[in-house]
Each structure stands twice: as C-alpha cells, then as structure tokens.
Amino acid sequence: MKVGIIGSGMVGATSAYAIMMRKAASEIVLIDANAKRAIAEAQDISHAVPFVAAAEVYAGNYDDLAGAKVVVIAAGANQKPGETRLNLMERNAAIMRDIITRTIAVAPDVIFLVATNPVDIITHICISIGRELGIATTRFIGSGTTLDTARFRSLLGQHIGVDAQNVHAYVLGEHGDTEVLVWSTIDIGGVPLEDFIAFRNITFNDKIKQQIEDNVRNAAYQIIEGKGSTYYGIGAAIARLVEVINRDTRAVLTISTLAEDVEGVKDVCLSLPHLISGSGDMGVLPVQLNVKEKMALKRSASLIREKVDAYLHL
C-alpha cells in the first residue's frame, strides 16, 4: 500500500509520521519543491520505523507515485505581503493543477486527499481541475471537518466522562468560523445525549454547551497563538482517511466534497457525513437537522459559495 504526500511542511510531514505510526501504508513517498526538506523529513521519520512496523519512507519525485492508491495534497503557496486572498487563491489553483496533472500521468487511478487550506475552496478547485482532466469527483476528498468533528467528540466526551469513540456527533459545513456543530442528533453509544445526561445525572446547561462550541470553533486560533500552526490533529485525521481507503473499511467521516444542493445553495464543497471506501467517496449520508441547524448550514454553504464565486470571477 503506497501513499504519496505532496508538500513536506509540518502538515505533510506529520501526516507521513501519523500514517507510519498507524500502519496505514507500507510505503510513503514525500515530495516537495524543497528537495532537501523532503529528504530530511523522510530520513527522520524512517528512523522511527524500527519502533513501529516495517514501512519504507523516502523522498522522491512524481515518477515515484506510480502504483500509489492515495496522494495527499498538503502543498500550497503562502500569502505574500500586500497580496489579496483572491490572488493567493489563483496561485494555489496553478499549484493544484500542476500537482494533479503530474500525478495522474503516473498514477491515473489515484485518490486525492486535499489538506491544503482553505480546504473547502481548494477542494472545489481540485474537483474543477479534475473534471477538465476526466477525473471522477469521487476521487477528490477534502479533509474538511474530520478534525473539527474529532475535537467536538473529544471535548464532549471529556465533559460527560465517556471515551470519545463512543460519542457520535458531527461538525458540518465549512472548515472554519461558520462550521455547524450538530447537537440535535448526538448519541452516546446509541443513547440520545439528553437521556444519557439525565440517566448519569451530569450537569449540562447552555453555558457548558457554549463553552464546548467556542473551544471547538476556536481551537485552531488558540493553538496558532501558542505555537504558530496546527499539524498533529490534521496529521492524525489524514492518517485515518488513508487507513480507511487503503483497507476499504467503509467508515463514515465528515469530509469535504462537492454537494449539488445544500439547503438551496448549489454546487458547493463543504463537509457532510460520507461513506468512504477503497474506491473513495461512496456518497453522503442523510442527517436529520433541526430548523436552527439547517439555517446555520445554509449560511455556511452560502459563505463558501460566495468565496468560490469571487475566485471564479478573477
């Protein structure tokens, strides 16, 4: 099971390390415009291999992607002083086109995992490029709110004293400020949240709920303020996605991909629960939202659509 990672910055390198530690692939290829960085990261990660399981980790080029089932896109341009976000997006679009074109030349059936931010817009751009090149939309998966959902489950699990893996809750919409925490459908091991709280006599009120929301929504800002960037969480999320695809485990994850209609907003990339398999995205699953959540999801979809439209009219 070979996986390629384009971009050997903190997100790309941490994803490679997490994939190795999770034993999600037996061969990991790191590619970066800065070849020395890719070589150094690959060497460093390979030194941890003897403590885990047999895996080959090395720096390479696009030819080395032949036979890869998954390619993670963690590359992108940084904003220059005085540069608008839209112009930055135009440069990133050129980078994505180069990556996709060069990858499919040697690995025509590969599945792309997009981690570059803003992930919903970059995923939309990648899907548009893919359509031009004849690549199925289902082969583009944005990391979306997989990490946000994990944060939500973790914080809620901590408060109610339950392993986060038994907390079934979703964060939908934009991977950003307008993301929607879905409270109405939460269950704890199959028991509705309200019933679980009542049965266990757990203190839970609007103030606690708001604290959890704020901590999920502002987690990235808090981490960036403290250490400059986030990479462990998203690295683990990417590793989980790689594992699901490589092993065809058919897991439900909140990934970002193109939706034809979200509460009246047409053709927008955002996160919804999807079934993921060895062939990529198998489609969205239905979620019963209340009126407030539907309105919030529509706002989130509208904002993303506005940003995409602004880019398309450059």
How many of the other CB atoms lie within 10 Å of CB of 280? 23
Best CA proximity match to 98, nearest among 63, 62, 64: 62
Token code pair at residue 211:
């604290």
- Name residue 284's beta-bridge partners: 274
d(CA 20, CA 24): 6
Q: What is the DSSP letter of 78?
A: P
Q: Is 175 a catalytic residue?
A: yes
Estimate to the nearest angstrom the gap between the alpha carbon of 300 and the chain centroid: 17
What secondary structure does DSSP assign to 174-203, as a single string? -SSTT-EEEEEEEEETTEEHHHHHHHHT--
Rounded to whole angstroms, the Cα distance separating 9 from 75 reads 8
Q: Return the CA Rg of the chain.
A: 19
Tokens 């384009």 belong to which residue?
A: 6
121, containing H or E segment: helix 119-132
Q: Pseudo-torsion of CA 95, 98, 99, 100, nearest 10°? A: 120
- Catalytic residue, candidates 47, 124, 168, 175: 175
Q: What are phi and psi for residue 250, nearest 5 degrees? A: 55, 65
**What is the set of active-site residues?**
175
